[in-house]
Structure 1
Amino acid sequence: MDISQHPAVRKTPGTATRPGAALAVLAGAQFTVMLATSIVNVALPQIRTGVGLSDSGTTWVVNAYGLAFGVLLLAGGRAADLWGCRRVLLGGVAVFALSSLTAGLATSPAVLIAARAVQGWGAAAIAPSALALVMSLFPPGPARGRALGIWGAVSGAGAAAGVLLGGALTQAWGWPWIFYATAAGAFLVLIAGAIHLPWVPAVDRGRFDLAGTVTVTLSLTAVVWGLTTARGSGWTDTRVLGAFALFAVLLAAFALIERRHPDPLIPPRLFAGGQVVAGNGLMALLGSMWIALFFFLPLYQQQVLGAGPLATGLGQLPLAAANMLGSTLSSRVARRVGAKAAVTGALLIEAAGLLWLSRISSDGSYLADVLGPSVVVGLGLGAAFVLLTALSAGDVPPADAGLAGGLVNTTRQVGGAVGLAVLATLAGSRAADAATHGPHWEALTAGYRLAFGISAAVMTTAALLALAVVRPIAEADPHDHTHRNEASS
């Protein structure tokens, strides 16, 4: 089916609808969002010196973006459904570009951290809107599978490229250029989107659930803040326990509000059909090791193997290439073996790569300890991301496409925040214990090995769960051939 004939799509005035150009813009938007997630990691020492950050302030350069991004994704998805995906996406890109430029110009910790938070707000509008447009523009079947394969490839490549670009720009021109480059990319996406993205009218005329948005945002903020703070203060710290208590209270309030609101932020119909619950649950587990992977692997390369920022970034290229390959092949594999087998296999490949990484050595090398497992991890990660995205958002009503995109991104981000907080705490404890018996670099390696080993166990558990919760499409609706094609893609 030609995209221009899709009933939900209207051409941008004065232009023709071109599916390749539209998908390129949407992929560029997603790449930019994922790039901003990891581009600061390698440059943190230089940023700390340049702006005068404390230890906690340095942590918040990363957390301010991830926290704002994760907790506002549901609101961004709902806004896309109510006000139109194109409008919300372009507005989010504009906010993202301006805040990136502000971050590069920042000369004080407060301005830099605030700009990173606003970046996260813009990203929370971009990600669900872009995914909803992909699902709207490409009909169920092989075309959507190929589009999602490209989507997954650029998502993984963006995260890995962030480490490479951050290292190269910091080493060549200084840390502000990582934000200038991000701003420039966002402005290009904004211009291209205004030209090439078709108008997809809002399909939901309900009311925006402000009370539900506020309570769920604050509840997720509380739990992520508590988990992040626990890394430095301990799990029994009064502030940490208070944050968890606030999370529970606000979550209960959110559930009560949703029951009474005529247009709830998360409508029950979202879970009535398809496999939204299964897809989001597995995506949360995948996210729990995704962010941790790109946190611990560069640290091992720099702090143990002694690589510089640029060499560390270049070392991520094989992982990025494997990620793109896994994303591209995922829909083809799923059509041949079925969604259940494809998801399970992808998660097991991911687990195998992480288990291999858990054998890193304190006196090792990139070729011996990082290259091989990075390729395996990239293949599994790319395929699993695409398949779980399709599972989570591919079978929902058109009126909820943006919300479904926001939900699956939220589960990945919140899962990542939880996973990173837990793994960082455990790895730090293992490293502290090992430091009493040996050199510093051996202690760090012991902590990283533990983090990768636990991540492998989590992915193995996810694969076993996939066998139980992912239904063959015939079980979901044996008479619906459209759904059969969609799920297999």
Structure 2
Amino acid sequence: MTSTQPLPAPAQAAPPQHLTGRLKVVLAVLLVAQFMLAVDFSILNVALPDIGDSLGFSLANLQWIATAFALCAAGFTLFFGRIGDLIGRRRIFLGSIALLGVASLVGGLAPNPEILIIARVAQGLATAAATPAGLALLTTSFPEGPLRQKALGLNGALMSAGFTAGAVLGGVLTDVLSWRWAFFINVPVALAVLLVAPAVIAESRPADRPKVDLPGALTVTLALLGIVYGLTQAGEHGWTHPLAMAGLLGGAVLLALFHLVERRAVQPLVPLDVLRKRTVAWGNVLGLLAFVTETSLVYLLTLYMQKTLGFSALAAGLAFGVLGLGTVAGGLLASRMIARTSTSAVLIGGGLLQAAFTAVLLLLGDTPAAMGLLLPATFLGGVGNMLVIVGFMVTATTGLPDREQGLATGLASMSQQVGITMGTPIMSSIVTAVTGGAVTAAAILDGVTVAIAANTGLVLLGVLIAAVFLRTRRA
């Protein structure tokens, strides 16, 4: 006798609670790619004088090796993040990693300044596309909750460690081999990612594909280019320099225009209701402050170790290995602490830890014995900074559907890259104002001390924002 009762609907597969074999490979591929992208931000800093001597860059044009990369990496991030939502994040990710590999090969073989700058522009565009696409693949591959928090914690740790490792690696490669290997090192890594990623990473895109908001894309990209250009010029020539002021004012005007364009767009590049979400808006402000403070602290301590203590560039770079270990430790701790408390508690606690051990650096003296204070302080400050960075990533990408993860990670990547670009000019201007142009060991120590105090103040501002605007109950 045949039963007439309807069969029960098949149960929807529950999201995995532990890392499966495939998810481990996905995580490894995405983390390796993000680490490589982070290394590129700083790997050429130590090598710039050698590049200038080898290819004949003038002193005035040498800064364009860094500026060309920063302009494209920050200026196009939001645009490519949204494009990934529309045409597929895996497609954007693989294409941009391929572009990065080719650009790195061209940069390493560059026979003249023009080819090198073109390669740096291509590297910047590849970074602008790969960073949000990789983050979006990470957030859509891992369900919201402990697994995603763990993945974002590891991602944040490796990205921050990559920024620090770039300075060390650039110095070692330049001294032992040649500055060209600072480019060549990307090529085998990009090939490995391209060989493994297509087999393990699924495509991620929304079911419907809205039209690209070209007016919004154009205005926001030009606005970010103007702001980043203004910041780089401010770092080189001061905040009152005409080019710095023109870039910053032009960028601000274009951002206001972008807001008007998005209010009237039928399918906006950045839906304003997303920006009105407390977690997205304030989370990205915290991310901006986190990257402004820690990356600029690296600049200040490099200045201190070389100009006050007389360290070589390589020795100063190696000293930041301790900071790198602190960021890795913070990334490993972050997901566990979020699970046991809450994201806001980690943001506040991490910010207080970073502020406390940044303030400790106000006690630095003018003898090498100060390294006994600097090394543990940078380790513990790095732990606190990474707790904030992971908390920011979790906050800024939580509560949004998968179709908007490219936008969310694009905003987060933009905050990161603009923060990296902003920090050094801000702190450099403080040091210059205090020293009045003097370059004696004592003058540099005075300037660095005042800038460290300002850095501590910015960290505490982030703590205040987290406590007031992002306070949540325990999960």
TM > 0.5 fold call? yes
2:7 maps to none
Match of 2:430 among 423, 426, 429: 426
Answer yes or no: is 1:89 the counterpart of 2:128: no
2:468 maps to 468
Change (3 A) 1:392 1:366: same
Corresponding residue SS for 1:18: helix
Cα deviation for residue 6 of structure 1 reads: 7.8
1:416 maps to 420
Change (3 A) 1:142 1:166: same
1:189 maps to 193
Q: Is the 8 A contact 1:22 1:196 kept in 2?
A: yes
Match of 1:320 among 293, 318, 324: 324
2:155 maps to 151
Corresponding residue SS for 2:63: helix
Match of 2:239 among 232, 235, 240: 235
Q: CA offsets, 1:461-489, max 9 Å, x none?
A: 11112110113158xxxxxxxxx5xxxxx
Q: Is the 8 A contact 1:80 1:202 kept in 2?
A: no
Answer yes or no: is 1:446 the counterpart of 2:446: yes
Q: Is the 8 A contact 1:38 1:294 kept in 2?
A: no
Q: Is the 8 A contact 2:70 2:228 kept in 1?
A: no
Deviates more, 1:139-148 or 1:296-305: 296-305
Q: Is the 8 A contact 2:205 2:403 kept in 1?
A: no
Q: CA offsets, 1:396-450, max 9 Å, x none?
A: 12111011001011122223323322211121222335x3xxx722222222222
| Superposition map of 1:21-60 within 5 A | 21-60=25-64
Tell me the distance in 2 between the aligned counterparts of 1:140 and 1:343.
18
| Superposition map of 1:68-83 within 5 A | 68-83=72-87
Cα deviation for residue 128 of structure 1 reads: 0.7
Answer yes or no: is 1:458 the counterpart of 2:458: yes
2:268 maps to 264
Q: CA offsets, 1:333-363, max 9 Å, x none?
A: 1222222221101011111222122333232
Tell me the distance in 2 between the aligned counterparts of 1:187 and 1:361.
46
Seq. identity, %: 34
Tell me the distance in 1 between the aligned counterparts of 2:100 and 2:207.
25
TM-score (norm 1): 0.89
Change (3 A) 1:204 1:386: farther
- 2:97 alignment partner AA: V
**Structure whose CA Rg is larger:** 2
Cα deviation for residue 39 of structure 1 reads: 0.8
Q: Is the 8 A contact 2:85 2:405 kept in 1?
A: yes
Q: CA offsets, 1:4-59, max 9 Å, x none?
A: 9689xxxxxxxx98100000001011101100011112222212222222333222
Q: Is the 8 A contact 1:226 1:239 kept in 2?
A: yes
Deviates more, 1:169-178 or 1:359-368: 359-368
Q: Is the 8 A contact 1:347 1:380 kept in 2?
A: yes
- 1:66 alignment partner AA: A
Cα deviation for residue 62 of structure 1 reads: 1.7
Cα deviation for residue 170 of structure 1 reads: 0.7
Tell me the distance in 1 between the aligned counterparts of 2:276 and 2:461.
26
- 2:447 alignment partner AA: G
- 1:463 alignment partner AA: V
Tell me the distance in 2 between the aligned counterparts of 1:377 and 1:56.
35
Tell me the distance in 2 between the aligned counterparts of 1:105 and 1:6.
50
Q: Is the 8 A contact 1:270 1:397 kept in 2?
A: no
Answer yes or no: is 1:107 the counterpart of 2:122: no
CA-atom RMSD, angstroms?
2.3
Tell me the distance in 1 between the aligned counterparts of 2:238 and 2:167.
29
Q: Is the 8 A contact 1:38 1:163 kept in 2?
A: yes
Tell me the distance in 2 between the aligned counterparts of 1:237 and 1:367.
36
| Superposition map of 1:38-437 within 5 A | 38-271=42-275, 273=277, 275-365=279-369, 367-432=371-436, 435=438
Tell me the distance in 2 between the aligned counterparts of 1:156 and 1:233.
28
Tell me the distance in 2 between the aligned counterparts of 1:187 and 1:429.
46
Corresponding residue SS for 1:144: helix
Change (3 A) 1:236 1:274: closer
- 2:409 alignment partner AA: G
Tell me the distance in 2 between the aligned counterparts of 1:427 and 1:190.
44
Q: Is the 8 A contact 1:273 1:395 kept in 2?
A: no
TM-score (norm 2): 0.91
Tell me the distance in 1 between the aligned counterparts of 2:90 and 2:122.
20
- 1:456 alignment partner AA: T
Corresponding residue SS for 2:425: helix
Tell me the distance in 1 between the aligned counterparts of 2:457 and 2:422.
16
